[in-house]
Structure 1
Amino acid sequence: MADLILNNALGRIRTFAELAGSNDAIVVVPLEASGLEADATLRDYDDLASLLAGSSNEQTTLGRKSLTSALTVTVDDTNNRVDIDAPDQVWTATAGNAVGALLWCYDSDTTGGGDASIVPMSKHDFSFTPDGTDVTAVVAAAGLMRSSG
């Protein structure tokens, strides 16, 4: 489950997860452990470009993962929430700097726009040091994130 839902994504998570646009995607961005900002700071960034302009750094050696299929969205009327699940993510033959978190983002148009148009949705603590082996980010059994009212 998400450690943090960023403010700009609150209330829009379901729309993002369902990938209703024609060229949209969910993008998973690994963040380096070194310089990783506190949740209180990260939650206020409205786009990926602003977040990466702060002291948090993208771990670019691993590369971003792009999901172009809708995530699993379950409306739970009994508990007044929406649960969102996603497939586990795998990075093969890992290399580069240590990772401290994964940032799940929404890109409304993968054909252009860049990081300034990518909305950070959730941050998940995920620490490992790349050592040439494969690494799998296992999405919790409870799901990727939850929005409740």
Structure 2
Amino acid sequence: MRTYLNLFFAFLFITMNTSCNEDDVEVDCITGEAAIINEVEAPETAKVGEVVSIEVTFSMKNTCGSFAEFKESSTEEGKIIKVLVSYFGCTCGQAIIEDTQSYEFTPESAGVYQLNFRSSTSELTTINIEVTE
């Protein structure tokens, strides 16, 4: 009986060691972060109720990056807009990739709209759009 028990534990030990091999461990290579905004192009004027398109050019740190979304938040500085980028993959080419996406908003009333785009962790690119009836 003792021989069978020793064989069972030996089999269990071998099975556990082979199933926990580092080569079998899957690595999750999906990350996301805010991109660095290089340039913002916007019209100086717009009309109430019309969609305003703002071209935002930003950089991604490698070839696995792709645009995810614009993220809006409100702080004491006003409305802050960030570009979020998703990185998919473990093996990525090391290159700075530039992309341009359109941020769109529809003003609901007349006035001057101030939009702040997060160009780095400590800097904002501010644009003003005068909206008329």
Please give the TM-score of this superposition, normalised by the length of structure 1: 0.30
TM-score by length of 2: 0.32
| Larger strand share, 1 or 2 | 2
Larger Rg: 2
